[in-house]
Every structure is written in C-alpha cells, then in structure tokens.
C-alpha cells in the first residue's frame, strides 16, 4: 500500500516513515504542503494519506475537501488526520471535511499501525467490490446472443472513442453492417436457426478485426457496427472487403436470399474526414452509406465520401 505523509515537520515525516517502513510497508511519499501532496496524487497511485491538519497555506481540511472534490467517485483514498488538538468539535470538523480517522500527536506507533492496518483492509475490500461492480457493468453491455458489445455498450464506447479522436486528432472510421435479406432467412429457416446464424456471423466479423482497439457491437436485430480508431478510410475499406470475402468463403446457406445462395452483408463506411462534428453525426453518415449500399443491390460497400454531397442535399 502506497502511503502519502503530509506534514510540514520533517521530524514528523521521518518518524511516520520509520514506523510504516518498519512494519513492512513501502517507503512513503513525503509532502510538506498541499502543493507537494497534490503533485504526488496526480502522478502516483496513492492508497492512504496521513495528513497534518495544520499545514502552511492550504491547511489539511481545505486540502481534503479539494481531494474529495477533484478525484473521481470510484477513486477513494482513505485519509487519517494527524493533529495536536484533541478537541471533539475540531475532530468532528475534520471528519466532516472528508477525513476518515484521526490520530493525536505525538504519534503512538501501536495506534498508528493499527489504524493503517484497518484502512488497508477497508481499501482491499473496496478494491474487490469495485472489481465486482466493473464485471457486472461489463455484463450489462454484452449482447447475450452474440457475446459482442450491445447497443448500450456501443453508445458508451463510441462516445469514449470520439473524445480520444478529438484529443489526438487521428482519423476515426465507422462501419455499419446489415445482413442482407435476414427477414426471409428467419421466415424460412426459423428463428432458432436465425439466432445460430447471427452468432456465426458475429464470430466471423470479430475474426476480421485487426486489434483490441477495434470495436464490434450488435446495433440491433441483424445490424452490426465496427468502430475503427486511428484508421484511414482506405484501411477501413480493406477491412470491409475482407468481411465480404470471408462471407463468400464461409458460404452460410441462404437459399431464399435475393442476392446470393449464402449469407451476405451490406456495409456503409464513414470517416471523420467527411466533416462529422459529433459521434452521432459520424454514425448517421455510415447509416446513410449503408442505405445506399443496399439500394445499389446489397452485398457491397459504400463510402460516405462517394455520396456525401447528394446525402447532404437530401438532409
């Protein structure tokens, strides 16, 4: 557990450091004021703060309020105050400011280590709970049928990827895919077979992705989307061509299709080079490209840049 010791007295910092290191904890991070403390928190993972209330400039109460306000809700750092005042109202104010416990100076080694051990156990329990909640959150974002990201997970992933694109200014592409004549597939082969087909197709799509940063999601029904961060349009077209080629190789039977005797898909592609100002605009452009690909005969690729001017006129 990484401990941050904040005290304007070098003697106190050295004493606390000696006690916790002697108990087997790593060398604590030292800070003599709020500025140094915040610098440590910004660049290091801090698991526990031992903080003097009487600090020069920004005192411990103010610093604690700033820490609680600025850190994310899911990043909790236990704070134990070190104080020379043993006044109940003063200690109550310290807890109200966001502290979790307090220790009256001069520091007692046994009491200090008992409090550190207690906070360590609480911190470990919270970490385990956070991991469980994270796993549950991921489960709510997975499509139960195809085991890829569902619509909710896609919306969040797209917004996150869009923020990265805005920050890094790297080209972002999006593929919108729709399985051709899937209604007639369900009508003739039955919905259980249709579910098996969707699982098989989603696995094929997944196998075509280039890296873990590529995002495949089931948008709804027989529609899928692929988000390609830091990807040029030509690279996105190459991936789309690979998907069409793999479907032709796989030959998933569909004797009732108007396109081919096997499962095919139509693909619309959009890129941030086409002037999308929001993530939803990028998705809308890919959707319009998909519509054009289907109206042109299905089982083909259409890029927004090829229809952009006419599409904007229709809008």
Measure the CA–CA gap between 311 and 9, rounded to whole angstroms: 69
Which candidate, 34, 24, 49, places its Cα nearest to that of 115? 49
Cα–Cα distance, 289 to 280 (Å, whole number): 14
Question: Dihedral angle at the C-alpha atoms of 205, 206, 207, 212, nearest 10 degrees?
Answer: 140
The β-bridge partners of 48 are 3
Of the residues 131, 156, 171, 222, which is catalytic?
A: 222
**What is the spatial order of strands in the sheet that 301-303 belongs to?**
215-220, 223-228, 173-179, 265-271, 301-303
Kindly state the tokens that stand for 213. Answer: 């940063």
Distances (CA, A) of 52 to 86, 96, 98, 251: 13, 16, 14, 71
- Per the CB < 8 A criterion, the answer to whether 269 and 227 are in contact is no
In the chain, what's the furthest Cα-to-Cα distance?
A: 85
Sheet with 48-52, strands from edge to edge, namely 29-31, 3-6, 48-52, 79-83, 101-104
Is the preceding peptide bond at 84 cis, omega within 30 degrees of 0? no
Q: What is the Cα gyration radius of the chain? A: 29
- The answer to whether 171 is a known catalytic residue is no
- DSSP label at 274? G
CB 30: neighbour CB atoms within 10 A?
Answer: 17
Contact predicate 248/242, CB 8 Å:
no
CA torsion 79-85-87-90 (nearest 10°) is: -50
Active site residues: 222
């Amino acid at each position: 557990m990484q401990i941050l010791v904040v005290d304007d007295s070098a003697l106190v910092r050295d004493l606390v450091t000696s006690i916790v290191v002697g108990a087997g904890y790593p060398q604590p991070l030292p800070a003599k004021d709020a500025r140094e403390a915040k610098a440590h928190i910004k660049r290091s993972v801090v698991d526990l703060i031992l903080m003097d209330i009487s600090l020069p400039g920004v005192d411990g109460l103010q610093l604690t309020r700033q820490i609680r306000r600025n850190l994310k809700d899911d990043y909790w750092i236990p704070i134990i105050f070190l104080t020379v005042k043993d006044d109940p109202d003063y200690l109550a104010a310290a807890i109200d400011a966001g502290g979790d416990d307090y220790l009256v100076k001069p520091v007692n080694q046994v009491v200090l280590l008992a409090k550190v051990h207690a906070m360590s156990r609480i911190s470990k329990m919270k970490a385990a709970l956070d991991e469980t909640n994270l796993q549950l959150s991921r489960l709510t974002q997975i499509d139960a049928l195809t085991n890829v990201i569902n619509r909710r997970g896609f919306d969040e992933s797209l917004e996150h990827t869009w923020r990265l694109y805005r920050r890094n200014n790297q080209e972002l592409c999006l593929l919108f895919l729709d399985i051709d004549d899937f209604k007639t597939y369900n009508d003739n082969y039955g919905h259980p077979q249709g579910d098996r087909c969707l699982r098989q197709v989603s696995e094929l799509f997944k196998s075509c992705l280039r890296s873990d940063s590529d995002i495949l999601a089931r948008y709804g029904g027989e529609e899928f989307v692929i988000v390609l961060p830091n990807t040029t349009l030509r690279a996105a077209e190459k991936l789309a061509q690979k998907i069409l080629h793999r479907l032709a190789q796989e030959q998933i039977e569909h004797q009732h299709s108007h396109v081919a005797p096997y499962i095919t898909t139509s693909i619309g592609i959009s890129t941030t080079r086409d002037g999308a100002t929001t993530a939803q605009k990028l998705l809308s452009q890919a959707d319009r490209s998909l519509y054009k690909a289907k109206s042109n005969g299905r089982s083909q690729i259409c890029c927004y840049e090829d229809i952009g001017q006419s599409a904007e006129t229709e809008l």
